Structure 1
Amino acid sequence: MRCPKCEGRENRVIDSREVRNGDAIRRRRVCVGCGHRFTTYEEIQRAQLQVTKRDGRREELSRSKLVKSLNIACRKRHISVEQIERLADSILLEAESEFEKEIPSIMLGKKVMAALEKLDEVAYIRYASVYRRFRDAGQFMNEVERLIGRE
């Protein structure tokens, strides 16, 4: 590991901590040459899943896009940032364990909806209305009635 200040290669680890539920390790280091302190992160490199869109396009599965869509669905709900982060991590972990290289966007959407339905019904309805492309209030009401009937 090179020092960001002097480019020296000799350094010592002075502190290590697990972050993001043990998925990464944060290390505080000090350069032996100049004494500069800096932080590094160590995490497992996973094969990047590709999402196959409905129109056949492919793009990398983006954690930031997933978190953004979860934030939109959970806006103004009593759901913490940590809960959203954990939800995104669990959805990604499940997707990575089930699919090797590609995941259809339909399957990813279903995983998100299942997780949101357990977490918060309003967030679920918000996400489902966009994901399922509700065309009118009738479709919206049918989904709400299904949720009410389930209780």
Structure 2
Amino acid sequence: MRCPYCGGDDTQVKDSRPTEDGSAIRRRRVCSACGGRFTTFERIQLRELTVLKRSGRRVPFDRDKLVRSVSVALRKRPVEPERIERMVSGIVRQLESTGESEVPAEQIGQLVMEGLKGLDDVAYVRFASVYRNFREAKDFEAVLGELSSDPAPE
């Protein structure tokens, strides 16, 4: 594992433990060259996923991009990081278990919206406004109408 500080490739694992949900291994590492300490995560990957964009382009699936998108929607919202991680891990597992190596971007967006609806209404509306490309206030009204017509999550 390459050191993020000096670029050295001689690092040692000092501690390993599973994450709370057991979906990854958290490793504390130290660089022999500069002494820098950092954390890495090791996850199971069932298959290489490719995202089929609306434009027709194909790009490799990037879990970190998914985490960033969800984090932007949840910025300054009272949602624990563990719940976010569980939601993202669940989405990735669903995508990998479909058996398909190509996943349409729309499918990922739908799974994120379903997950956010269960986590935080404000984040759901934020994500929907970008995902559905809202242009007018009535677009927000329609999504708010969807939220108020759904039974409250328990």
TM-score range, shorter chain: 0.7 to 0.9
Partner of 1:80: 80
> AA paired with 2:95?
A
Report percent identity of matched pairs.
Answer: 47
CA RMSD, aligned part only? Answer: 3.0
Partner of 2:123: 123
Aligned with 1:55: secondary structure? coil
Superposition deviation, residue 43 in structure 1? 4.4
Instruction: Give the TM-score, by structure 2 length.
Output: 0.74
Q: How does 1:89-104 map to 2 (within 5 A)?
A: 89-104=89-104
Question: What is the distance in 2 between the residues matched to 1:84 and 1:19?
Answer: 13
> Number of residues paired by the alignment?
136
Q: Over residues 97-123 of structure 1, what are the superposed CA-to-partner deviations in whole Å (9 max), with x where a residue is unaligned?
A: 114211000111000001111111111
Superposition deviation, residue 73 in structure 1? 0.5
Q: Which consecutive unaligned segments of at least 5 residues does structure 1 have?
A: 6-12, 30-38
Instruction: Classify 1:94/1:66 alpha carbon distance in 2 versus 1 (closer, same or farther; 3 Å).
Output: same
Superposition deviation, residue 124 in structure 1? 0.5
Partner of 1:111: 111
Partner of 2:52: 52
Q: Which consecutive unaligned segments of at least 5 residues does structure 2 have?
A: 1-8, 30-38
Superposition deviation, residue 23 in structure 1? 2.9
Partner of 1:134: 134
Superposition deviation, residue 4 in structure 1? 3.2
- Which of structures 1 and 2 has the bigger CA Rg? 1
Instruction: Classify 1:99/1:80 alpha carbon distance in 2 versus 1 (closer, same or farther; 3 Å).
Output: same
Matched, 1:4 2:10: yes
